[in-house]
Amino acid sequence: MTRNDDLFARAQAAIPGGVNSPVRAFRSVGGSPLFLTSARGAYVTDADGREYVDMVASWGPAILGHAQPQVVAAVQEAAARGLGFGAATPAETELAELIEERVAPVDKVRLLSTGTEATMTAIRLARGFTGRDLLVKFAGLYHGHSDGLLAEAGSGVATLALPGSAGVTAATAGQTLVLPYNDLDAVRAVFAEHGDSIAAVITEAAAANMGVVAPDAGFNAALVDIAHAHGALVILDEVLTGFRVGRAGYWGLENAGVAGHPPYAPDLFTFGKVVGGGLPVAALGGRADVMDHLAPLGPVYQAGTLSGNPVAVAAGLTTLRLADAAVYAHLDSAALTISNAVSEALTDAGVAHAVQRAGNLFSFVFGENVAGGVRNYDEVRAQEAWRYPAFFHAMQDGGVSLPPSVFEAWFVTAAHDDAAIARIVEALPAAARAAAEA
Ligand code: PMP
């Protein structure tokens, strides 16, 4: 018995499943989850004192690496001035302005505490603005755990093989129309039938909660065209991609004037993760006329005791200010080096697979049938997912902490230097063999 095992046994008696967010329980890879006690740079340390190169990065926020000294100092300084006031603070406006400066279609921003709150509020706002009820989402995409968004919601639910969630009423579920991702014919058909009743389409800027599945070139732009032609709004969910894949998120990558990518302007954006630098900050932003429908100006209610919390905002603001072109260049090159090394090791071990990429986010699908890459949830689910647990545990034995599910993206940080990457590369041959023999 390791200390991790002991802690897990004790946690399971006190907390449902021993965890406060389901994917942490290692259900799809098996074994005791790691109980972490500290993290610095590219490394995390568990309760047994073992150190791992971390490819989870707090599920995205830690782009600068864990406990980045300037971010920690900013948090300490803010904390010393007061943990929270429940009143407006100057730094909230600075963070809102910084988001607006980076993401051109965002005129106004409301800060909240979690990505779930941001998407939930975005949908209420879209309904309040349009006076319509229906929401369109895509299968395998995750937008947090509010009731209407738990239909075919990817990673956590996919890991547990659940179709959605118990406790969601039929009335609520019935207002969410779920379509296959990357299928514009399905989008056109649903608008042809229900166009007058659809308030909004919500989509991840690039899908990364069923593993990584990039949108086809022009997919997001076409969504905006189709929705607008029917008076509906588009909510681009950048909770995971925002400020991680580039300074203006995945929208920024697609609107940088690259051939084959027509420009587009979603009505609302949701941000989380990186925008809080590891503390609870999320943001809803968008067109001023839509955003001004929020209380106190408009009739759509949203509020939060901890919204814009000064300590959390200090972490987000400092993280975004430090995330300059050099940081993004490093993330891109580290992601490419690591993903190519994994792919080579799998090929050497004879494991058919594909690397799925969206900017510096990546993941892997296993099997001959998916070796050409996958474009939607059905294709993702057709892979040999059972190869991943063996791969995962061999990497963990080799000192690398991977996302504990094949349906999750891998996250690099600016602290993933040559030494950290070398540790990953060293662990790969044994892990690839384990995947081959699984
Ligand atoms: N949207 C997306 C795209 C996400 O990846 C997530 C979280 N993984 C959420 C929303 C929900 O964010 P949170 O966990 O902060 O509620």
- Does residue 163 register a pLDDT over 60? no
Residue 60 tokens, joined: 């995205």
pTM over 0.80: yes
Confidence of residue 149 (pLDDT cuts 50, 70, 90): confident
Q: Are residues 357 and 318 in the same domain?
A: no
Boundary residue ending a domain (305, 322, 339): 322
Question: What confidence score (pLDDT) does residue 155 get?
Answer: 62
How much is the average pLDDT of 102-111?
A: 98
Confidence of residue 158 (pLDDT cuts 50, 70, 90): low
Helices 219-229 & 184-194 angle (0-180, nearest 10): 10
- Does residue 31 register a pLDDT over 70? yes
CATH number of the domain within which 42 lies: 3.90.1150.10
Q: How far is CA 377 from the centre of its chain?
A: 16
Q: Whose CA is nearest to atom 7 of ligand 1?
A: 144
Higher pLDDT, 383 or 155: 383
First to last CA, the chain: 25
Amino acid (one-letter) located at 203: T
Tell me the chain's radius of gyration from C-alpha atoms.
21
How much is the average pLDDT of 364-384?
A: 97
Boundary residue ending a domain (273, 304, 322): 322
Q: Are residues 93 and 218 in the same domain?
A: yes
Q: Are residues 101 and 151 in the same domain?
A: yes
Question: What confidence score (pLDDT) does residue 21 get?
Answer: 95
Ligand 1 closest atom vs CA 240 = 5
* Residues designated catalytic: 142, 237, 273
- Which position has the token pair 């503390």? 279
Residue 67, judged by CB atoms within 10 A of its CB (0-12, 13-18, 19+), counts as middle
Domain that holds residue 366: 3-63+325-437
**Alpha-carbon span 331 to 389, nearest angstrom:** 26
Q: Whose CA is nearest to atom 13 of ligand 1?
A: 115
Residue 62, judged by CB atoms within 10 A of its CB (0-12, 13-18, 19+), counts as buried
CATH number of the domain within which 194 lies: 3.40.640.10
Residues with C-beta less than 6 Å from any ligand 1 atom: 59, 114-116, 119, 142-144, 204, 209, 237, 239-240, 272, 282
Cα 361 to ligand 1 centroid, rounded to whole Å:
15
- Does residue 141 register a pLDDT over 70? yes
Question: What confidence score (pLDDT) does residue 150 get?
Answer: 82
**Alpha-carbon span 216 to 232, nearest angstrom:** 21
Cα 419 to ligand 1 centroid, rounded to whole Å:
31
Angle value at C-alpha 423, between 419 and 428, nearest 5 degrees: 145
Boundary residue ending a domain (322, 347, 373): 322
CA dihedral 243, 381, 395, 426 (to 10 degrees): -80
Q: Are residues 211 and 350 in the same domain?
A: no
Ligand 1 closest atom vs CA 241 = 3
Confidence of residue 159 (pLDDT cuts 50, 70, 90): low
Ligand 1 closest atom vs CA 60 = 8
Q: Provide the domain count of the chain.
A: 2
Q: Are residues 50 and 180 in the same domain?
A: no
- Does residue 350 register a pLDDT over 60? yes
Question: What confidence score (pLDDT) does residue 162 get?
Answer: 54
Could you report the predicted ipTM of this complex, rounded to two decimals?
Answer: 0.99
**Alpha-carbon span 85 to 414, nearest angstrom:** 33
Cα 251 to ligand 1 centroid, rounded to whole Å:
17
**Alpha-carbon span 89 to 80, nearest angstrom:** 15
Ligand 1 closest atom vs CA 114 = 15
What are the pLDDT digits (tens) for 288-344?
A: 999 999 999 999 999 999 999 999 999 999 999 999 999 999 999 999 999 999 999
Q: Are residues 309 and 211 in the same domain?
A: yes
In eight-state DSSP terms, residue 107 is: -
Confidence of residue 157 (pLDDT cuts 50, 70, 90): low
DSSP string, 194-263: HTTTEEEEEEESSB-SSS-BPPPTTHHHHHHHHHHHTT-EEEEE-TTTTTTSSTTHHHHHHTS--TT---
- Does residue 410 register a pLDDT over 60? yes
Q: Are residues 55 and 88 in the same domain?
A: no
Q: Are residues 294 and 176 in the same domain?
A: yes
Is-contact 132 280, C-beta < 8 A? Answer: no
Q: Whose CA is nearest to atom 12 of ligand 1?
A: 115
pLDDT averaged over the chain? 96
In eight-state DSSP terms, residue 407 is: T
Is-contact 205 253, C-beta < 8 A? Answer: no
Cα 33 to ligand 1 centroid, rounded to whole Å:
21
- Does residue 154 register a pLDDT over 80? no
